[in-house]
Structure 1
Amino acid sequence: MIPDFNNMIPELHYYIHRKCTPNWKIDANVIPFIDITYVIDGKAEYNIGGHIYTVKKGDLICIPQNTYRAAVNIPEDLMECYSTNIFLRDQFGQEARLPLPIISHIGIIPRLISRFHEIHEEWLQRDFGYMLKIRGILCLILYQISNLILNENHLSQEDPRIKNSIRYMSMHYQDPLTIDLMARQFHLHPVYYGSLFREAMGMTFKQYLISLRLNYAENMLKSGEYSVSEVALQCGFSDIFYFSKLFKEKKGIPPSGMFPPERRKKKEDTILLPGGKEE
């Protein structure tokens, strides 16, 4: 099961683009932060919690907070890496754990290297609001590495046809989209396209479209600016009774239950279900 990363807030404690010398080492200590190091060249030997690891190009090191750490270089193959020491908390200010393996071989990922370059520039320039910007970049890095390591479907989601499909659906969710229409855009047979989509997203095209529409509907309802009927129509549901039933089934409460507390119930918000009962 992939942990929920949505509430994690990273804070950079220290950053270095490390180019090791023959005598480089990290003295033994128990670190009060999380050490995330991405090796982009060479090798080194780490002692992490009493276990010896030889790390190499393409390895991602994730050392938990309050862990014993020491390291020495391998002189014949000097290591180059990006190293960030971070504190991680949830939205309530409590310390959070980063549930990643200590060593993961992810290879050389250009877009990930670009993120570390961005931190490098901000860390050195220290312009107005640089820590806020670094925090945002760290969030992107944590997302990318967790997606690479923990998300079993990440490779299939890299398919440009699926990525473009998701982008298109996000912009046209209210339109009468069908799997045949989307398959034609990529010159694919609908059955093959449907198989690609399910492999990438873990659900069928129709299931994803309904989920997308209901998420948009939830967001509109929470604003308190639209009636239930308006939300249903704007989110691609021509049958308001079907929308109400489906919303309650998937979200656990009727659409009107999403309205902010300060909104008084209006007549147009009441839906009479078959049999004369109110929603």
Structure 2
Amino acid sequence: MEVNFDNMIPDLHYYIHRKCTASWKIDPDYISFIDITYVIAGKARYFIDGTEYIVRKGDLICIPKGTHRAAVSVPEDLMECYSTNLFLTDQKGNDISLPINLISHIGNVPQLISCFHEIHEEWLKREFGYKLKVRASMCLILYHIMDLLFNENRISSKDIRIINSIRYMSTHFAEDVSIETMASLFHIHPVYYGNLFKKALGMTFKQYLISLRLNHAENILRSGEANVGDAALQSGFSDIYYFSKLFKEKKGIPPSKLLPPERKRHIELFK
């Protein structure tokens, strides 16, 4: 499923690190916000639009705006959770919803917990600029949720060899990087390394390397800092004709079309 979350702007209305008591409850009502709650311990009973759900450790609750909501404790196994009420708009100020199930079991996600800790600290201190910092943390929370639920190419395994490979390639992509040299760094056979890489990312080593190089070239061209030939060389392509053909094939437009108008005029003057 393709989900575009690049234009999401969260506005946090309410936050709490909740440690439920036996008498805790949420009174029945329609909510005017999105409720995102991450359960880190225990259980609770939620009633969402008339349906009862038992939520437990590792569950992510996402209740849309306009939904009828209520909740009560499970006294023998009290819930601990991070709960946020937020408004979500696009860059034009239009309300948008999250394409997430009411209840998703995502397990223990340290990155999410870290983001909630940051919100907790800023929400309590309320120092200068805290709303901006909270919004940034909320954006990261939304990113991690989307990455977990919708990114088919996410590295689900924790193979440190592939994680380190990606880090290395992100800074050395313009160099003569090959599957053989990368495999040798981890003392494994290139064929086995290639299989590991494809299984983790859903694409071959060469495809991933080319995507890094083309994305870097695109950034350079859009900035106007280099012409097509220089952008190709700085991105790891030694053949400008191969680069131009590949760029058009993958990006849908010739690389020269990305040059800012002032850069194009500069090139015309010095022809």
TM-score (norm 2): 0.94
Superposed, 1:105-144 pairs within 5 Å as 105-144=105-144
What is the alpha-carbon distance in structure 2 between the residues aligned to residue 89 and residue 75 of structure 1? 37
Runs of 4+ in 1 over 6 A off after TM superposition: none
Q: Give the equivalent residue in structure 1 for 2:170.
A: 170
SS at match of 1:38: strand
What is the alpha-carbon distance in structure 1 between the residues aligned to residue 164 and residue 12 of structure 2? 33
Q: Deviations over 1:221-245 (max 9, x none)?
A: 0111211111111111111111111
SS at match of 1:98: coil
Q: Give the equivalent residue in structure 2 for 1:255.
A: 255
Q: Give the equivalent residue in structure 2 for 1:32.
A: 32
What is the alpha-carbon distance in structure 1 between the residues aligned to residue 159 and residue 7 of structure 2? 28
SS at match of 1:47: strand
Do the aligned residues in 1 keep the contact of 2:155 with 2:201 (CA within 8 Å)? Answer: no
More deviation in 257-266 or 13-22?
Answer: 257-266
Do the aligned residues in 2 keep the contact of 1:88 with 1:96 (CA within 8 Å)? Answer: yes
Amino acid aligned to 1:266:
I
Q: Cα 1:228–1:155, aligned 2, differ >3 Å: closer, same or farther?
A: closer
What is the alpha-carbon distance in structure 1 between the residues aligned to residue 270 and residue 227 of structure 2? 6
Q: Does the alignment pair 1:62 with 2:40? A: no
Offset of 1:265 from its aligned partner? 5.2
Offset of 1:180 from its aligned partner? 0.5
Do the aligned residues in 1 keep the contact of 2:111 with 2:144 (CA within 8 Å)? Answer: no
What is the alpha-carbon distance in structure 2 between the residues aligned to residue 128 and residue 196 of structure 1? 47
Q: Give the equivalent residue in structure 2 for 1:147.
A: 147
Instruction: Give the unaligned 5+ runs of structure 1.
Output: 271-279
Do the aligned residues in 1 keep the contact of 2:119 with 2:137 (CA within 8 Å)? Answer: yes
SS at match of 1:156: coil
What is the alpha-carbon distance in structure 1 between the residues aligned to residue 105 and residue 224 of structure 2? 48
Amino acid aligned to 1:107:
G
SS at match of 2:95: coil
Aligned Cα root-mean-square deviation (Å): 1.7
Instruction: Give the unaligned 5+ runs of structure 2.
Output: none
What is the alpha-carbon distance in structure 1 between the residues aligned to residue 157 and residue 2 of structure 2? 16
Q: Deviations over 1:102-157 (max 9, x none)?
A: 11112222332121111000000011111111111111111112222223443536
Q: Cα 1:26–1:172, aligned 2, differ >3 Å: closer, same or farther?
A: same
Offset of 1:91 from its aligned partner? 2.1
Q: Give the equivalent residue in structure 2 for 1:77.
A: 77
TM-score (norm 1): 0.92
What is the alpha-carbon distance in structure 2 between the residues aligned to residue 113 and residue 125 of structure 1? 19
What is the alpha-carbon distance in structure 2 between the residues aligned to residue 28 and residue 136 of structure 1? 31
Q: Give the equivalent residue in structure 2 for 1:246.
A: 246
- Kindly tell me the number of residue pairs found equivalent between the two proteins: 270
Offset of 1:78 from its aligned partner? 1.4
SS at match of 2:46: strand
